[in-house]
Structure 1
């Protein structure tokens, strides 16, 4: 069956059956608007997109995983501001001839990941179009937002997790015949398609009271640290040798003749957190590290002036659309 066979309203009804309704939302899918009660703290609102031919290719046939990834991408922005995602709206652009199995897998991926993360769909929109597109708007809450503009001279730069796996996984999808151990290839592709992000870590970091600025790594570490220092009016020094490398990236880089640290520094869609700790609070912050279940690595510091030092040899600064 194709999308045209069930029509717009049939698709809306299918979404209603796949997703849970939020217990505290009196009006959701089916009305002109959702009704949301105000949060106790500040409300965070963000949006993200997944467009066929830009963010994914149909031959990958990984729609369930891509559905999960869309949710992670939206929720990661909320986490990066020290918040917790609560609700989301979903807009779908669907060509009339799209196979319903494709849509079903994509929606099931969204439903599964949203249930895992404890967030609820409250509405959205469906439209016809030339290619598959999905746009997510996420609402979250925080007691005190952490922005990109709070870094100060003397602050220390940290990153969660390990980097490079998503870029390697994408390159393997684009060149699946590369001569590399199949176990490593599968692991790196899974990292790209199943990036779990640090959806609850941002709130925990904010609660330490030591974080001055934070961003999630969507465009690449180099690009994203530049966002912080430009908005904060400072410079930064990075030690690329300290960047934590995802499993299998070293072996992949050996095959393609690339430096793993440089490679990892421009790997996008990682959805790890890049943040600065106040210089006068680092000792206190280190006491909190045992409370986190992900690696957290010191990779540099904030300096006076502007610009980024320590990135000699980096080719490109991360992902940009044009």
Structure 2
């Protein structure tokens, strides 16, 4: 700790003092000017709470929302990686029609506000797919079963399963465009000489992509993909607008019912920060060790 402090420059101390002063001013404004009564003591009950009837701890609103956010982020990342890889390959296709379709999809997402995109995907694709597959009836059937522990571990409350799937699909389709651009850049970073060498030994374009280009490209795109995964976690708050009960949605519910405005939102910000910063440190360490 002392060694770390010795490395700090006077400018670091100045920046730290400015940051502390800024947050102190905000605290003074809220506590003094707004005459806000802090009630931090109630926040832990909305994270974990003791159930007197069952005599056990259970996850309350904020922890339920955090669990949903983690699930949605993991599943959406997997789908976004699959869709994005296909999109990235399509952007490098020799077929002009395929390239133009992939680019149209990308430009559509890049030039329309994310909120609008979320509503478009939800009403015109995600909700239609859920209705077509009759997922609501299936999820309610699972929810009535006694042996549903495995389902709830992976998907949470099965009564909310259609909402979870909607959020995953919408977020994956939105993020896949950015993943596609990352994959496209990785593919195009492979030198033409390697491709020509692959063709000279009789490889088809599919074999060239599978055995030569993609293995090298995916190694190069791991760091930006890790950053995109962290961005996806933060972007998941957008899907609260379509009533997906993730962390932001649960925070809105908590604020509406208790008026713990600043306590709830500061706690939510802390959850996002710990999750994203922890993953950032993990990915950085993995990148150094590879």
Tell me if TM exceeds 0.5: no
Q: Which has the higher helix share?
A: 2
TM-score, L = length of structure 1: 0.21
Q: Which has the higher strand share?
A: 1
TM-score, L = length of structure 2: 0.22
